[in-house]
Amino acid sequence: CRKSAGRAWTGGLAAWRLGKKADALGLFAQVWDSPAASEWTRAGAAFWAYRSAKATGKTIEADQWLYRAAEAPYSYYGLLARRTLQWDISLDWELPSLTARDLISLKRYPGVTRALALTQIGLKPRAEAELRAALPRLPAELYLPMLTLAERGGSPGLAMSLAGSVLRGRGERYDAGLYPVPHWTPRQGFAVNPALLYAIARHESHFTVAAKNPSGAQGLLQIMPETASAMARKGGTPDDAQELSDPTVNMTLGQRLASTLLRHDLVKGNLLRFTVGYSAGIGQLDKMLKGGETSKGAFAAAQRDPLLFVESIPFAESRNFSKRLLANYWIYQKRLGQPTDSLTALAGGKIPTYRPGQYAPVDMAAR
């Protein structure tokens, strides 16, 4: 069951920390064998079983586990396994065809016609709302052309939702829909890698511009109101804090927050620390690091092992965020034609670091 798989996972990590690598191997193997474990969890178990087998000198078994982890190529551990094996990440950015006949069929639904008109005058959030309203009446055979219309027309949230439905319902994968490139840009352009901002938006809001969290976080990049106020004042635009549902404003403030965190003395470009700072706040990151420095065990040691560091983050939500964000980031880097140096670093047991650069507007051909 799911609980027993969870106990085996926790036990495997505990055994690893205690230096009992053979015990860890057995426990991670239990997670892999559990029918209740998700593909994502099984990939993690296989990767840690690989590390455990390698540490105990079982090189052939280690390779077998690494191959198993690589079978989940879109997951955090699957991506790490494939980079360790020096296998390419196979991604297909082609969209389903959208024929003139498809467009005629779609236009039979009034919401689609209104959405096309709104898109032409630049009101893309309203256009997406019209497309979403039309979706329940749409027959399944029009989902694929609707996916392409949504992605090309600047409705990334809808494209992602449709691509997920097609994947679950028909087993067909459209990476361009699952990892859409939005048309929004921060004011004055990108100062932070757009792949990182897209990765955050994909995880935090699924590109839903009006997303709200019970915690109070709002918009594409799920920014807390008090943080938004601080970032707005920093940019000299205090009124922006009241416009978090505006995607341009949200990306502007989110980029400023990301840039501030990446330069912070506790982070200094360390992507693992950045993920904690973004999800839990810089204060929690500070407490976590100070606790690790003074403790007698696990976390202090984890800071010497970046892969263990992620699994030792004491907040479950931040642990999940770290892995999801990095997987998204690496895939978006591939989509934008960027090198994935941080993936290579982490797969090699090194700290993944953010490398600043000059970022031109995203080439629409990449979409």
365/218: higher pLDDT: 218
116 contacts 127 by C-beta, under 8 angstroms:
yes
Please tell me the distance from the alpha carbon of residue 210 to that of residue 212, in angstroms, as a whole number. 6
Residue 155 lies in a domain: yes
**Is pLDDT at 299 greater than 80 in this prediction?**
no
Q: To 10 degrees, what angle do helices 271-280 and 247-263 make?
A: 130
Q: 120 exposed, middle or buried (CB, 10 Å; 0-12, 13-18, 19+)?
A: exposed
| The pLDDT value given to residue 294 | 47
Residues 119 and 259 reside in one and the same domain: no
Which pLDDT band, with edges at 50, 70 and 90, does 365 fall under? very low
Distance CA 31, CA 190 (A): 42
As a whole number of angstroms, the distance between CA 95 and CA 112 comes to 19
**Residue 9 or residue 290, greater confidence:** 9
Task: Summarize pLDDT for 16-25 with one digit per residue, the tens.
Answer: 999 999 999 9
Q: Is 124 part of a structural domain of the chain?
A: yes
In single-letter form, the type of residue at position 106 comes to: L
| pTM for the structure as a whole | 0.94
Give the number of domains in the chain: 3
Cα–Cα distance list, 212 to 25, 171, 209, 258 (Å): 41, 30, 9, 19
> Does the pLDDT at position 351 exceed 70?
yes
Judge if 78 and 114 occupy the same domain: no
Tokens 């009034």 correspond to what residue?
110
> What tens digit of pLDDT does each residue of 67-83 get?
999 999 999 999 999 99
Q: Name the nearest CA neighbour of 282 among 328, 331, 318.
A: 318
Q: Which residue has the higher pLDDT, 301 or 97?
A: 97
pLDDT, tens digit (0-9, with 9 covering 90-100), for 35-57: 999 999 999 999 999 999 999 99
Compute how many other C-beta atoms are within 10 angstroms of the C-beta atom of residue 293.
10
Determine the structural domain holding residue 113 and report its residue range. Answer: 100-178
CATH number at 21 reads: 1.25.40
Work out the mean pLDDT of the chain and round it to a whole number: 92
Q: Is the pLDDT of residue 303 over 80?
A: no
Q: Is 121 part of any domain?
A: yes
pLDDT at 304: 85
Given a cut of 60, whether residue 136 has pLDDT beyond it is: yes
Side-chain-facing half-sphere of 359: CA atoms under 13 Å: 21
Q: Is position 116 within any domain?
A: yes
pLDDT of residue 1: 67
Q: Is the pLDDT of residue 27 over 90?
A: yes
244 and 273: one domain?
yes
Same domain, 124 and 240: no
What is the amino acid identity at position 24? A
| Token reading at 196 | 């990182």
Residue 46 in any domain: the answer is: yes
In DSSP terms, which residues pair with 212 in a beta bridge?
218
Q: Are residues 212 and 350 in the same domain?
A: yes
165/221 same-domain check: no
Q: Cβ–Cβ contacts within 10 Å for residue 186, how many?
A: 20
Q: Is residue 109 part of a domain?
A: yes
Which pLDDT value is given to residue 361?
A: 65
Residue 296 binned pLDDT confidence (cut-offs 50, 70, 90) = very low
Indicate whether 279 and 344 sit together in one domain.
yes
Give me the residues paired with residue 270 across strands.
353
**φ/ψ of residue 98, rounded to 5:** -130, 95
Please indicate, yes or no, whether residues 202 and 250 belong to a single structural domain of this protein: yes
Cα separations in angstroms, 129 against 109, 123, 201: 14, 10, 18
DSSP letter at 97?
P
Residues 206 and 172 in one domain: no
HSE-up of residue 333 (Cα within 13 Å, Cβ side): 20
Q: Are residues 239 and 304 in the same domain?
A: yes
Which of 36, 58, 84 finishes a domain?
A: 84
121 or 192: which leads in pLDDT: 192
73: DSSP letter = T
Provide mean pLDDT across the span 290-315: 75
Maximum mean pLDDT: which of 103-117, 131-145, 226-240, 271-285: 271-285
pLDDT for the residue numbered 280: 94
Angle at 181 between CA 180 and CA 183, to 5 degrees: 130
pLDDT higher than 50, residue 367: no
Tell me what pLDDT residue 4 has.
86
- Of 166-170, 171-175, 267-271, 360-364, minimum mean pLDDT range: 360-364
- Work out the average pLDDT over 341-351: 97
Tokens of 319: 């642990």
pLDDT at 124: 83
Q: Residues 281-306: what's their mean pLDDT?
A: 75
Radius of gyration over every alpha carbon of the chain, rounded to an integer in angstroms:
22
Domain contains 148: yes
* Residue 205, domain CATH: 1.10.530.10
Phi-psi region of 207 (alpha: psi -120 to 50; beta: other; left: phi over 0): left
Rounded CA gap, 143 and 137, in Å? Answer: 11
User: Percentage of the chain surpassing pLDDT 90?
Assistant: 78
The yes-or-no verdict on residue 218 having pLDDT over 90 is: yes
In a domain, 94, yes or no: no
Q: Is the pLDDT of residue 364 over 50?
A: no
Q: Do 300 and 174 share a structural domain?
A: no
Distance of alpha carbon 128 from alpha carbon 195, whole angstroms: 22
pLDDT at 122: 82
- Residue 3 has a pLDDT of 79
Final residue of a structural domain among 118, 143, 178: 178
**Predicted confidence (pLDDT) per residue in 161-191, tens digit:** 999 999 999 999 999 999 999 999 999 999 9
Strands (E), the chain: none
Query: What is the predicted pLDDT for the residue at 224?
Result: 94
- pLDDT score of 292 more than 80: no
* Residue in 157, 160, 198, 165 with CA at minimum distance from that of residue 177: 160
Of 151, 178, 205, which residue sits at a domain end? 178
Strand-pairing partners, residue 190, are: 359
Are residues 133 and 173 located together in one domain of the fold? Answer: yes
